[in-house]
Amino acid sequence: MIIHANVFSYLIALAAALILSLVLRLPLLPDKPMRTSWTISAVFPTAVLSIGFYAMVSELGYQGYIVALTTGIITALFAKFILEKIVPIPEGDESHE
């Protein structure tokens, strides 16, 4: 199977999201133990979301390095300011985690 996607676009979206989320003072990695941590960090979920969101806009027909860069920036802003409002930590889990 041939990958027809432009790998560089994904890397740009990933790098933009990682760098901006670190600038926005999100931690690089979730707290330990990571498997039970609810912390929103640069690597998870911001980086994963950035390439996923770029895949979505790319499939909708918007491709290119500028689109990738914009997607990365918007993803970092989304992870920092909006994500926890849309999918909050469930009540009672703050103490548990």
Partner 1 sequence: MNEILGIVLAAIISWFNFVLIDTWMGLPESPGVKGAEVIGRSVQKRGGDLAGGFFQGNIVCSPDASAGTLLASIACYAIGMPEGGLIAAVLVYFGNRICADPGYAGTIGALSITVIIYLTSFVGFKPEFFIVGMVLAILTIQGLYHTGASRLLGKLAKKMGRYTKIS
Q: How far apart are CA 18 and CA 22, in angstroms?
A: 6
3: left (phi over 0), alpha (psi -120 to 50) or beta: beta
Q: Looking only at residues 15 through 34 of this chain, which bind partner 1 when binding is defined by CB under 8 A?
A: 30, 33-34
Q: Is 6 in the site for partner 1 (CB under 8 A)?
A: no
**CA 35 vs CA 12, 31, 38, 88: distances in Å:** 27, 9, 9, 17
Answer for which of 23, 28, 59, 66 binds partner 1 (CB under 8 A) is: 59
Q: Which is nearer to partner 1, 23 or 48 (CB)?
A: 48
Site size for partner 1, by CB under 8 A?
A: 27
Q: Looking only at residues 72 through 91 of this chain, which bind partner 1 when binding is defined by CB under 8 A?
A: 87, 90
**Before 30, cis peptide (omega within 30)?**
no
Q: Which is nearer to partner 1, 59 or 65 (CB)?
A: 59
- Site residues (vs partner 1, CB under 8 A): 1, 3-5, 30, 33-38, 44-45, 48-49, 51-56, 58-59, 87, 90, 93, 97
